[in-house]
A and B are shown apart, each in its own frame.
Chain A
């Protein structure tokens, strides 16, 4: 470790003697620029060598790197192989061409919900979007309606806040008395909540929703779906369900939904979000019309 550090330090001193105005940071950026040009060439060569390449146009932004301060699109020509997904192509572009290309990804199998991106104009999970299903060039952007942190990474805090605003946890307090005894739930009831429990918090729905874009306090489809998952679960007592309905009926709750179905279209887990929101609206009406 220590020996490696000596060399660059020595170099920096000589540089500083010759051009006192140049800071190490400047030098680094210059060198990086030079490297970028080389990679550009390599990129073109690699593209020419491969039989078939797919062109990706990827959104780039980094508040700290001068050449990326103004958002731009970079082109990557990735050699195509059968069955390649958008995520595979992004990983290839990062590992082979530009290691500063930044995006969230983890499981590669559509359960972690990290890589929801705006691909060719709609919200999709990069890992389960086959390149063959898209028109080239493939335009990859961060999720709309969320602030961009860097490249394809958006700030998810607001989404998490909304998810947590609906008290997303089981609140039932009456448990069976026997030791090691579970609460009962009918298979039908389990079936009813099944789709709603599949949510992976990817944020695609919230990003596609115009209402959420215009009203920052709107809970959004994912959070309402989470509330639905508990409100419909028969294991929770009636008074808790009423409490949940009160959260749903508030000004920025279910009534904001204007049934555009955008969320349902983009949900990578095929959750019928609009249907769940509509059902909660009906529940809300029913619980307020108690006179019959």
Chain B
């Protein structure tokens, strides 16, 4: 009797070196989506606790924010957040086009365009985020 060989999960996602544009777009979209959801909940948590704390002494809120903003790593994370959001928005628009059947043959180009535009906006934002201290 013949058997067959199940290669299991090893092959399930193929080889990342061979991923096509559409595949990368999908992965990045999922990834940025989860990051944004994570950030959203963190944001809500921070705000809701900050309001409680601020009801005692408004300066605590300002101090906390200023303290965070004085850390370089936080500034860099903010750039990351911008990049994540911008890519997710642009690729979201791309997916909308795909759903409407517009320009499907250029889907890879529109993915690269999303990346380039994201990169441009991020680079342009660097002086704003890194320069100019928080008052």
| Interfacial residues, chain A to chain B (CB-CB below 8 A) | 61, 63-64, 71, 120-122, 144-145, 147-150, 155, 208, 210, 213-214, 258-262, 264-265, 272, 274-275, 278-279, 281-282
Query: Known: A71-B5, A144-B11. Contact between A261 and B18, CB under 8 A?
Result: no
- In-complex Cβ contact of B11 among A120, A145, A150, A272 (8 A): A145
Contact between chains at B6 and A144 (CB < 8 Å): no
A212 and B104 alpha carbons, distance in the complex (Å): 21
A281 and B12 alpha carbons, distance in the complex (Å): 26
B63-102 residues with Cβ-Cβ distance < 8 A to A are 95, 98-101
A210 contacts across to B, CB distance below 8 A: 12-14, 23
B97-111 CB mask vs A (1 if < 8 Å, else 0) is 011110011011000
- In-complex Cβ contact of A261 among B2, B3, B21 (8 A): B21
Does B26 lie at the interface of the complex (its beta carbon under 8 Å from any beta carbon of A)?
yes
B1-17 CB mask vs A (1 if < 8 Å, else 0) is 01111110001111101
A258 and B27 alpha carbons, distance in the complex (Å): 11
A84 and B74 alpha carbons, distance in the complex (Å): 57
| Interfacial residues, chain B to chain A (CB-CB below 8 A) | 2-7, 11-15, 17-18, 20-23, 25-26, 95, 98-101, 104-105, 107-108
Write the chain A residue with the least CB distance to B4. A147
Contact between chains at B104 and A278 (CB < 8 Å): yes
Shortest Cβ distance from residue A284 to the other chain B in the assembled complex, whole angstroms: 12
Other than A61-B5, A278-B104, give 9 A-B pairs with Cβ distance below 8 A.
A63-B4, A64-B2, A121-B18, A122-B18, A148-B4, A149-B5, A258-B26, A282-B99, A282-B100
A147 and B105 alpha carbons, distance in the complex (Å): 32
Shortest Cβ distance from residue B33 to the other chain A in the assembled complex, whole angstroms: 12
Contact between chains at A261 and B101 (CB < 8 Å): no
A173 and B33 alpha carbons, distance in the complex (Å): 48
Contact between chains at A281 and B99 (CB < 8 Å): yes
Query: Known: A63-B3, A145-B11, A260-B26. Contact between A272 and B104, CB under 8 A?
Result: yes
